[in-house]
Every structure is written in structure tokens, then in C-alpha cells.
Amino acid sequence: MAVHVDANIVRQVAKLAKLSLTDAELPDVARDLERVLALVAVLDEVDVAGVAPLVHPHEQGLQPRADVPHVGLTQAQALANAPAQDGGCFLTPRVIG
Amino acid sequence: MSAFEAVIGLEVHAQLLTRTKIFCSCAVTVGGEPNTRTCPVCLGLPGALPVLNAEVVRLAVRAGLGTGCTVQSISVFARKNYFYPDLPKGYQITQAELPVCLDGQIVLDDGKVARIQRIHLEEDAGKSIHGDSGTRVDLNRAGTPLVEIVGHPDLRTPDEAVSYLRELRGILVTLGVCDGNMEEGSLRCDANVSIRPIGQDAFGTRVEIKNMNSFRSVRDAIAHEIGRQADVIQDGQAIRQETRLWNADLARTESMRSKEEAADYRYFPDPDLLPLHIDAAWLALQRADLPELPAARKARYQGELGLDARAANWLCEEPPRADAFDRTIADAPELASAFAPFLMTQVQAQLQRNDRPWPEVDAAMPALLRICRKWRAGQLANKMLADLLQTAFADTAQPLPDALAHAESLAGAVVSDVAALEPVIDAVLAKFPGEVAKYRAGQKQLVGFFVGQAMRQLAGKADAQAIAALLADKLDA
């Protein structure tokens, strides 16, 4: 089943992914996304009636760890890659709300 | 407004009482210098992988069992994608389609059952401090384990919402799942509120209210929001689906974001985490390990100890208080039905008057039981009791049990022997011949007046029952 991807969908997806695309780029990306979706749509042809959803390809479950604290990074190490910092905090541009 | 009914559902986030974060071994503690409890996992550094904390699973399962949920043999962690500075990975690990617990319930004070839809595990975000020069981010809290308990929209009034939250909090605290501290944010509550004409089945447009950090603010915020929605509809306008924040200072809800701005979170299973399997044998062990829950405790208080519903509810609201009560009355169950209201009224009033915290009382309960016993036995008159408590609770120089013992020694003995009471009673009867005549003419309720007059003469330090008995002898002779 072919899925139609228009410029508005691409804009919305780009916005959610924090990607900036120019209007000129939209048609190419739309076409690429349509091809990806068409590829995956092959799976629609498989009859899955009565088949339980597969939550993970591996059969084993999580192996939880014990609740024992370990020393992590120092404040200086934690902030080492921060473009800006202030008073031991990461400093980001002002966020409203 | 009477033409509408409200439809309310609560979403409660409870911070789990673990030592470490949900997916890494950084310590979970409050306070301290910013960004001193982080590691590559909770900082979201590339290549770092989450490893689930076993204690988180145990506590979530306890929460589920305590609320009558079905614990799922397989649950799956998912990524909730959004961008915010205090969420370093760009997604929150939570559970979406397959949460750890489903289909529970909470029984409210009045016996009404409110259903729980699901309980899922998730990680908390960091803390943002907004300022003029930018936003400061502290990631100590990032990765703190939470359960979110999602209720069905079964509640109809602000009081029902508070009753639900109190009961849920009591369960979580009793189970050691969460410390229940709403002011510090370890128990947080959001409310979905809509209204509809009475008799209509379809739900109205719902509004989500956030930022309520006490039972009082939950009640006030929901009551305010119901009134606001009724006003909007009566003005002929439509309710906007939106998120509103409760402003306790201004006592109103304020718009935060509308549905059009709501994010599309693009949930998908987190490929870094395998499914969580919960084994039936282990689950049976967890079930066997549950302590007495608040509902059972309330029933025991009322059924076995003869407490009224109000006192039983009040004790069970704070599990440590009920624990201390149980320890204290273990050897004196016959006093329980007097001791509980004594704590709830006289003792609580003294705490409030002197601005002292409740846990002091938990430690002083044996001394308080001793005093209550004397009072019930007539060895302390009402006035003497009130003075004793006032003296003890105002005394901050020594621990409360010592202050109570000291005030007890100052209280003296109640006057109850006939030789001391008789002249006082004779004088009272001689002073009020008119009342005596009325009493004898049938106004028997005047006995209270005579007791009061005699008590006044004795500075409140007399045994009221002994006075009443003597009065009856004299007046009814």
C-alpha cells in the first residue's frame, strides 16, 4: 500500500526531529520517506492473524542489577563537554515554560 | 453549576524509595551540589547503556499488588521523545503499550471504588532553573525512578479526588514504595477535569491541571477548575483542551499550553532494554510479603478496637502514626477507642497551637496513653488534662515524653473524696435555690449547671463523676 508523504508531513517530522529543511529540500525528502514506507509496507502482506505481537527478537528478559550506589562523575567531569556552565549547572539558552 | 457534574481522573507520580537511579548506579538523594550524582548513563552520553535497578521492579510490583492490579508477566520499556534541556537523551524511558501493572482499584472513604488503569515505570528528568541569563540545568535528579499511577475518570468531586489520593498515598507509604512527601515532590499529582450536564454519558472536553503539591491544593484547584469550566459553558463558549497550572497564591488555574501545541511523543520500544519478565513464583513471594494495608487496618480499628470511621481514617492517613498507635495500644486495647480521638482532637490541637511536627507525638505515645488512661479513670479532670497538655507541648526545652511526665507531676491529684466535695456542693445548692426547685420540678438537665458551678469552686481539679453522684444523692433524696 503506497503512502503519500506531502510537504506538510515532512515539515512536521522535521520539526519534531529538530531538523531544519529548506522548502527546496522538502520534495526530495518526501520522496525518500515514501520509498522507505513503501519498503516497510511489504510487511502488510503477511497474514498475522492469531500471531502474538513480538516485543523483542531475543527471548531472554532484562537482567536487573542490585540497588547499590557507585561513585559516578565529579561535577567538573560532568560539565567537561558543556558549551556553557554556571554555578555547577549546565547553562542553556533561556527556555520558556 | 448544579446542572453539571464533574469527571475527574488523577495521574500520580511517586518517587520510588531506592538507593540508586532507575538505569544507573548513581545515588538518589536530595540536595547537595548540582551535577555531583551523574554518570554517562544519566547524562545521556553516546554509547552509554541503561541497566535496570532490581529494587525498582520490586517496589513497582508492591505498588501494583497493594492497589489490586494485575502484575504483567512481560512489560516493555519505551522511549518518549521530546526535546528539553533537562532531558539529556532527547527521550524519556517510560512504559507505553505494555506497562508493569494493569487494572487496579482504590476504595474511597465512603466505600466507592475508583479504578486504576495502569501503573508504569519511568525515569524522572533533571531540574531546570529558569533565569534571565539562561536556563541552568542540574541533572542530579535525572534518572530518579518513578511509578506513574493512572486512574480512570471515576471521581466526581474534589473531595473524592482527595480521598483517592490520601488512600493511594497511605498504601504507597505503608508498602515502603514512596515516602509520600508532596511538598518535596516525591508524590506528585496531575488531575484531568471535565464537566458534563447531569445525565449525559459522553465526557466533556478535559483540561489537565498540574502543579498541585498538597491535598489542599488538589481540592482547591479541582474545585476552581470545575467552576471555571461551568462559567465558560454558561457563557456559551467551548472548553479548550489544554494544560493548566494551579497558582496557589492567586487561587486559580492558568493556561500553560493548548492541545494544538501538544507534542507528538513518537513512542517506540527502547532497543537498549530487553523486555522485563516477572516470574510467577517470585510474584507469589512478593504477594506473601505484603504488610497489612490501610483498608484492612481501618476495618480492624473499627471492628476489633471500636474506633469510629473518622478516627480510623485519620490514623491510617499517616502509616507511621498508625504503627505507633498499634505498638502503644498493644497491651491496652480496651483504651484504643478513647485514645484515638484523644490523639486526633486534644493532642493534635496542641501540636498545631505550638507548631510542632507530628513525629514527636509518635515517640511520646506511651506517655500520652498513660495520661489518657488517668483521664478516662477520672484521675485527671478535663481542665487538668487541658492544662497538662498545654504545659507539656509549650515546653520545648526537653523531649516531649519528658515534658509530659514533668507536666503530669505538676498536675496534682483530682479531688474526688466526699469529705472535700460535700461542703462545696452544699454551698452551691444553697446559693441557687431557684435552680434546685426547677430541678426537682423535673428540669433534670440542670445537673450540668450544678456540676459546672462546683467545678468552678474547685478550680477544675475535681472528679466530675463524683460530683454528679453526690448531687444526685442530695437532689433526688
Indicate whether B289 belongs to any domain.
Answer: no
Gyration radius of chain B over CA positions: 29
Burial class (CB in 10 A: 0-12, 13-18, 19+), A23: exposed
Pairwise CB contact (< 8 Å): B134 & A75: no
Is residue A62 assigned to a domain?
A: no
- Contacts of residue A66 in chain B, CB cutoff 8 Å? 54-55
State whether B60 and B176 are in the same domain.
yes
Which residue of B27, B138, B269 is in closest CB contact with A55?
B269
Three-state SS at A11: helix
Q: Establish if B137 touches chain A: CB-CB under 8 angstroms.
A: yes
Q: Which residue has the higher pLDDT, B268 or B391?
A: B268
Is residue B321 in a domain? yes
Q: pLDDT digits over B186-212, tens only?
A: 999 999 999 998 888 888 889 999 888
Inside any domain, residue A93: no
Asked if B312 and B249 sit in the same domain, the reply is: no
Across B124-220, the runs of DSSP E, i.e. the strands, are 127-131, 134-138, 145-151, 187-197, 207-212
Distance CA B177, CA B64 (A): 10
Is A50 within the bounds of a domain?
no
Number of domains in chain B: 3
Q: Chain B residue closest to A54 (CA)?
A: B275
Which of B411, B443, B461 delimits the end of a domain? B411
Q: B432 — alpha (psi -120 to 50), left (phi > 0) or beta?
A: beta
Q: DSSP 3-state assignment of B370?
A: helix
A27 vs A18: CA distance, rounded Å: 18
Q: How far is A10 from chain B (nearest CA, A)?
A: 14
Q: Comparing B24 with B373, which gets the higher pLDDT?
A: B24
Same domain for B14 and B64?
yes
Which of residues B366, B385, B411 is at a domain's end?
Answer: B411
Q: Which residues contact B378 (CB under 8 A, 6 or more apart)?
A: B414, B416, B463, B464, B465, B466
Contacts of B33 in chain A (CB under 8 A): 75, 88
**The CATH number of the domain where B457 resides is what?**
1.10.10
Q: Tell me, yes or no, whether B77 lies in a domain.
A: yes
Judge if B92 and B218 occupy the same domain.
Answer: yes
Q: Cell numbers at residue B61, please?
A: 510490583
Q: How many residues does chain B have?
A: 477
Percent of chain B with pLDDT over 70: 97
What domain range is B433 assigned to?
Answer: 418-475
What pTM did the predictor assign?
Answer: 0.83
Shared domain check, B451 and B374: no
Q: How many domains does chain A have?
A: 1
Record: contact A92-B54, CB cut-off 8 A? no
Closest residue of chain B to A18, computed from CA coordinates: B83
Q: Tell me whether residues B53 and A95 touch, CB distance under 8 A.
A: no
Range of the domain at A22: 7-44
Could you tell me if B326 and B199 lie in one domain?
no
C-alpha span between B205 and B194 (Å, rounded): 6
Element (H, E) at B363: helix B359-376
Which of A15, A67, A70 to mutate to probe the B interface, most B CBs <10 Å? A67
Do B243 and B132 sit in the same domain of this protein?
yes
The pLDDT score that the predictor gives to residue B322 is 93
β pairing state of B242-247 and B207-212: parallel
Q: Is B35's CB within 8 Å of A67's CB?
A: no
B132 versus B69: the higher-pLDDT residue is B69
Residue B135: strand, helix, or coil? strand
Lowest mean pLDDT across A21-25, A58-62, A77-81: A58-62
Contact A91 B34 (CB under 8 A): no
Look at residue A85 and tell me if it is in a domain.
no
Give the CA distances from residue B301 to residues B109, B171, B324, B399, in Å, rounded to whole numbers and listed in that order: 14, 16, 14, 29
B422 and B405 part of one domain: no
Tell me what pLDDT residue B1 has.
45
Examine residue A39 and state whether it is found in any structural domain, yes or no.
Answer: yes
Compute the distance between CA of residue B347 and CA of residue B324 in angstroms, rounded to an integer.
14
- Using the 3D structure, point to which of B359, B388, B411 is the last residue of a domain: B411
Kindly state whether residues B437 and B379 are assigned to the same domain.
Answer: no
User: Strand (E) positions, B161-282?
Assistant: 187-197, 207-212, 242-247, 252-258, 268-269, 276-277
Query: B364-417: per-residue pLDDT in tens?
Result: 899 889 888 888 887 787 888 888 888 888 888 888 888 888 877 776 766 677
Option in A12, A56, A88 nearest B33 (CB): A88
pLDDT of residue A2: 66
Residue A88 belongs to a domain: no
Which residues share a beta bridge with B192? B9, B208
B19, B36, B85: residue with CB nearest A75: B36
The alpha carbon of residue B226 is apart from the nearest alpha carbon of chain A, in Å, by 24
Q: Are residues B317 and B189 in the same domain?
A: no
Q: A90 to chain B: which residues are within 8 Å by CB? A: 35, 85, 136-137, 139
Question: How does the average pLDDT of chain A come out, rounded?
Answer: 89
Interface mutation target, options B135, B256, B272, chain A, most CBs of A under 10 Å: B135
**Minimal CA separation from B134 to chain A, in Å:** 4
Total residue count of chain A as it appears in this document: 97
* pLDDT bracket for residue B323 (50, 70, 90): very high
- Taking contacts as CB-CB distances below 8 angstroms, the residues of chain A near B85 are 90, 92, 95
* Complex-level ipTM: 0.87
Q: Which residues of A touch B84 (CB under 8 A)?
A: 95
Percent of chain A with pLDDT over 70: 96
Window 106-135 of B: residues touching A by CB (8 A cutoff) are 128-135
% of chain A exceeding 90 in pLDDT: 58
Query: Does residue A20 form part of some domain?
Result: yes
Claim to verify: residue B313 and residue B452 sit in the same structural domain: no
Cell of residue A65, nine digits: 542489577
- A interface with B, Cβ–Cβ < 8 A, is 12, 16, 18, 55-56, 58, 60-70, 72-75, 78-79, 84, 86-97
Q: Is A94–B18 a contact, with Cβ atoms under 8 angstroms apart?
A: no
Q: Is residue A28 part of a domain?
A: yes
